[in-house]
Amino acid sequence: MSIKTINPATNENIKSFEEMSAKGIDIALENSEKAFQSWKKTSYWQRAELLYKVAHILRSRKDEFAKLITLEMGKLIGESIGEIELSADIFDYYAVNGEKLLADKPLNPKYGEAFIRYSPIGVLLGVEPWNFPFYQVARFAAPNIMIGNSILVKHASNVPQCGIAIKNIFDEAEAPEGLYTNLLIPGDKITKLVADTRIKGVSLTGSEQAGASLAEAAGKYIKKSVLELGGSDPFIILDDANIDKAVEWAVVARMNNTGQCCVAGKRFIIMDSVYNEFFNKFKAKLMEFEAGDPVDPATKLGPLSSEGALKLLLNQVQKAIKGGAKVELGGRQIDRPGFYMEPTILTNIDKNNPAYREELFGPVACIFKVKTEEEAIALANDTPFGLGASIFTKNTNRGRKIADQIDSGMVFINHPTWTSPDLPFGGTKRSGYGRELSELGIYEFVNKKLIRTSLLEDPF
């Protein structure tokens, strides 16, 4: 079986790679285990030096790596450059802060002395998605290499060249053999891989189905897991919001990465007194998006990542229409080579409509009108997902009170759900569990070891 690069802007098969053999996988595991045994003894300074080198390589060749992202999954070139810069920032963040975050934590027991020491646990497996092929790897690899763990990455099968490029970056940065390994294997081999005793923890960013499968395997073999799954983020606009600013950010929230973002604003919940103004301005902005070559900096609308992604989204829209949804804009595939879809707005979505609870991964906005703040909160929470949320209001205290009532891992006030190296990223409910990035992200795959010293005069 081969793993292919297919350009989603043209539907051309660019390059194919043979998947790793069973023997090749075993050698990779063995090398990773050997690397861990050595790497865990290195100093924080040595680990930070490697992360700095990786960040430098990313920045110095960002145009090259950005073009690879755009070629394999269709991201607009400007957004691809931004992804490379963000990935470099993540490596720098953990290089700068890792030693401080992993320092011994003193305790104050009733008797004796004690502290918590953060220790690495071993070989980790990361299963990463195609929508942010460098950033997703960075937020998994950077903190865990700083901890002293070694890394295996099974990247999405439609971005093999991105996966290979990241491995080459670590080689260029003079990482020890086996510290970072790219696995060219299909998804159906992951469960068997998790069973290997050399793997001590697993992390996945992807679909609910993939997350459930990995979590089941991790539970069966008693291994720590972190899951970042789907999202259907509410984007709440209150009656006192700055509508022009809300529209500006709503367009970014829905159309960033052609809508293929877990934390994209997907359900726009608007109070009735400002509904018409928001709707008309938002629709007018989406009508300005014209499809084009994603390598061209002037292009505003790129393709979806694959033919499968396009077909799934079109089918979801058709089911929504059959369920009573009204198409206010778009709803169709664009007649040109590649996997392009029109920016789409759906309204009149009731609780019986499939679109009410599904994640629509692409340039499709579902818009709801509510009368009260309480109705907005209830609608925001009426979803199986709980990744991010946004609230727009001129009264930040009001925004914080509402944020406290939203069932999600992240809530942003007057801004779309966003990401930064120093902010924790993760969700609740069916959006997964655990956190990546910030100081929380460095504590997921560590042994929080208690070391206690009893004094001679301490009682038994």
pLDDT digits 0-9 by tens, 352-365: 999 999 999 999 99
How deeply is 295 buried, as exposed, middle or buried, from its count of CB atoms within 10 A (0-12, 13-18, 19+)?
middle
From 72, 262, 358, 436, the catalytic residue: 262
From 33, 83, 228, 342, the catalytic residue: 228
Q: How confident is the model at residue 188 (pLDDT cuts 50, 70, 90)?
A: confident
Residue 33 among the catalytic residues: no
Instruction: Write out the two tokens for 360.
Output: 């629509």
- What is the β-pairing status of strands 432-433 and 224-228? antiparallel
pLDDT attached to residue 1? 61
Largest Cα span, the chain = 82
Q: What is the 3-state secondary structure of 115-144?
A: EEEEEECCEEEEECCCCCCCHHHHHHHHHH
Residue 81 bridge partners (DSSP): none
Q: What own/partner pairs with CB < 8 Å and gap ≥ 24 does 135-138 have?
A: 135/83, 135/86, 135/87, 135/90, 135/419, 136/205, 137/87, 137/163, 137/166, 138/86, 138/87, 138/88, 138/90, 138/91
Q: How confident is the model at residue 460 (pLDDT cuts 50, 70, 90)?
A: low
CA–chain centroid gap for 311, Å, is 22
Are 21 and 64 spatial neighbours (Cβ–Cβ below 8 Å)? Answer: no
Average pLDDT over residues 18-24: 95
Indicate the helix (H) or strand (E) that contains 397.
helix 396-403
Q: Mean pLDDT over all residues of the chain? A: 96
Indicate the helix (H) or strand (E) that contains 449.
strand 446-453
> How far is CA 148 from each of CA 145, 446, 458, rounded to the nearest angstrom?
5, 9, 35
- Span 225-254, pLDDT tens digits: 999 999 999 999 999 999 999 999 999 999
Residue 366 among the catalytic residues: no
- Span 264-290, pLDDT tens digits: 999 999 999 999 999 999 999 999 999
pLDDT attached to residue 2? 79
Number of residues written out for the chain: 460
Distance CA 67, CA 2 (A): 22
Amino acid at 153: V
pLDDT attached to residue 157? 94
C-alpha dihedral (392, 396, 397, 402), degrees to nearest 10:
20
Whether pLDDT at 6 is above 90: yes
pLDDT attached to residue 459? 72
Q: How confident is the model at residue 185 (pLDDT cuts 50, 70, 90)?
A: very high
- Span 336-353, pLDDT tens digits: 999 999 999 999 999 999
% of the chain beyond a pLDDT of 70: 99
Whether pLDDT at 457 is above 90: no
86-122 in b/e form (b: 16+ CB < 10 A) is: bbbbbbbbbbebbeebbeeeeeeeeeeeeebebebbb
Residue 451 has a CB neighbour count (10 Å cut-off) of 11
Q: In this structure, what DSSP letter does residue 260 have?
A: -
Instruction: Write out the two tokens for 237.
Output: 């606009």
Whether pLDDT at 455 is above 90: no
> How far is CA 405 from each of CA 272, 347, 397, rounded to the nearest angstrom?
21, 25, 13
Q: What is the DSSP string of 267-289?
A: EEEEEHHHHHHHHHHHHHHHTT-
Residue 202 has a CB neighbour count (10 Å cut-off) of 25
Residue 18 three-state SS: strand
Distance CA 420, CA 417 (A): 10
pLDDT attached to residue 428? 97
Average pLDDT over residues 313-318: 98
Average pLDDT over residues 404-427: 97
Comparing CA positions, the residue from 50, 35, 384, 3 lying closest to residue 229 is 384
Q: Can you list the domains of the chain with their CATH numbers?
A: 2-228+422-451 (3.40.605.10), 233-413 (3.40.309.10)
Whether pLDDT at 295 is above 70: yes
How deeply is 45 buried, as exposed, middle or buried, from its count of CB atoms within 10 A (0-12, 13-18, 19+)?
exposed
